[in-house]
Chain A
């Protein structure tokens, strides 16, 4: 498989010389009709696809102010050109955010602006051709919608919005991406990204109860579909079995147990992820989000708490109220929804949890800020809570914590390289190369502070790092869940 070279670790912000076309061959599998149909998209390119595409772009311009403004505002100042992890890792100039945007902007200018109609060469306007569509398909699947470029743009142009719009246009003409669309189909059909049906889920959770009992001697419950529970927990389905995700789920269960708060998972909404975001399809995003509302109503819960998942937290925090609200049937004393880190941190601050920090003394930790949490959401009451709260938890349960370089964390954090619907093996070269800036930053703290593990609060980050860490000479188990650390440090009543 690996017919490419893993990039050499350098300074995280090292700017490579341009290699035009270096990643032009990167293409995810195209969705067949059976994966397109459940989402309401055509199965293949029709003869009039160009008209459909232009019409769709026109409709999006009228219904999305961000896209409308971003198409016009770019002055090509170059501020974003060295900010994308995929550019830094691949050297392909089309992975500079502005160059990626220009693949759509050129078409916008050609069909929707006067200078583009009459002087296309002068303003970089391009006809929509099959070649352009192929470029869209390649390079708009080399953007993880991480929004790092939007931090630095003087007009706040967010390439993620442009990527989402272009993917929506591609879906409208029948050129969808298999990975994302197949997964959304599974959510509609079975309830989660992994296609884990209710009985399998129940089995898994019973198994976890036994594991925790063996481990601690305490009956920690993993309830499923329990009506009348106080809290509905919605978590990425990777938490049900993948490492290190499942150790995080065990952490949540122990925290609820210690706090004495009743909770339940739902088989109807057994997935926090919402890939409708990735493909820029508000209809699908809304349909996926509605399951959570339905589950909350059916189970009669009073609160909704999300597990560790980056883009899910974006959809939950920023969009859920819009997509599936109002949530006036829930307890108004708590924000809707809450993040599991907010819940745990509150318990820590109130001194409810008994924690033995030395249980984590065999680890020296750093923390990877996940892009969607960092730049598209918040935790707690004050801006930046999404950075301080997870760190406060880690510092409460570990003695050794070291941040990576300041320009690689917080709002400047680098994407793991696998977000935005790119966490698929057909894009492994892109994923490995896109991880370069994060790997370089990690290498620094490993060398300077003897860091042994990197914690994260995102299922995609965890899966991506487990896969790409070995390419850079690390071990796959060096990525851990934040609530895995909590799980190891927490001391339950009656624990042996």
Chain B
């Protein structure tokens, strides 16, 4: 019971830090004005075009594809794998399990391997490619290690040491109602959960902020229409010296 309560507390804290921390970052991004039009051109000239551009960035990593095919390949394997694995995990948090979650279940299993291949590829490049080694901090290596450890502990429960998954599900379903249903005392499970909680805690303070960041990137989300529509943002240097039009000015 001690372990169950401890993990319940860890997850309350992790979720709170994740939600509040990420929320504060997103508010900070949204609040900072974009004083000038700086889309990287050629850029779409309409809002709908920007949505399309953003979609190709978020779902296909379009710019990365132009940059480097290896990073793109490993990056997309990892991210698509992670996305499917996360969606598959919804079955442990939702009752009843939605049909579409049931349907992606088989893909979700393969996705874990895609994720691992992507992570290993990225980790090897980070060490083996001189340029990328040069720009890496310890945290960059550790981040890949953290994801890899999460993936491997997860896979170990699928293929080596099964855990009582319905008990795990009862544990998580109980959390919102402050009911502490016993968590199976399986080392791999506890390690897996601990690492995931750790990931949630560091998320708002780390480079994982690229996930919300990309949506706020002015070089990607601005419409290329500065001549047609005057772009005005409330910044001091703009407003302070703003002079009305057409009255001689000098």
Contact = CB atoms under 8 A, between A and B. Distances in A.
Interface of A: 15, 17-18, 20, 61-66, 68-70, 72-83, 93, 96, 98-99, 102, 113-115, 121-124, 147, 150-158, 161, 282-283, 286-287, 290, 293-294, 297-298, 317-319, 321-322, 325-329, 335-337, 374-378, 381-384, 386-387, 411-412
Given A18-B134, A76-B136, A154-B63, A321 B230 contact: yes
Contacts of A98: 135
Given A78-B132, A102-B135, A319-B37, 5 more contacts: A68-B32, A69-B218, A156-B219, A158-B38, A387-B42
Given A18-B131, A74-B207, A322-B37, A286 B241 contact: yes
B2 interface: no
10 contacts: A63-B32, A66-B217, A69-B217, A77-B132, A80-B67, A322-B36, A322-B231, A376-B40, A383-B41, A387-B42
Contacts, number: 234
A80 B71 CA distance: 11
Contacts of A412: 66
Interface string B182-226: 000000000000000000001001110110011011111000101
Nearest to A106: B137
A15 B132 CA distance: 13
Nearest to B61: A154
A63 B137 contact: no
A322 B68 contact: no
Contact of B245 (A96, A114, A325, A382): A325
B214 A73 contact: yes
The range of chain B's interface size is 35 or more
Interface string B134-152: 1111111010000000000
Contact of B139 (A70, A123, A154, A321): A123
B139 A155 contact: no
Contact of B224 (A76, A122, A335, A383): A383
Given A69-B217, A326-B245, A411 B129 contact: no
A375 B37 CA distance: 12
> Which of A77, A83, A147, A377 gathers most chain B CB within 10 Å?
A77
Chain A CB count within 10 A is highest, among B33, B41, B227, for B41
A124 B68 contact: no
A71 to B, nearest CB: 9
A65 B26 CA distance: 11
A297 B38 contact: no
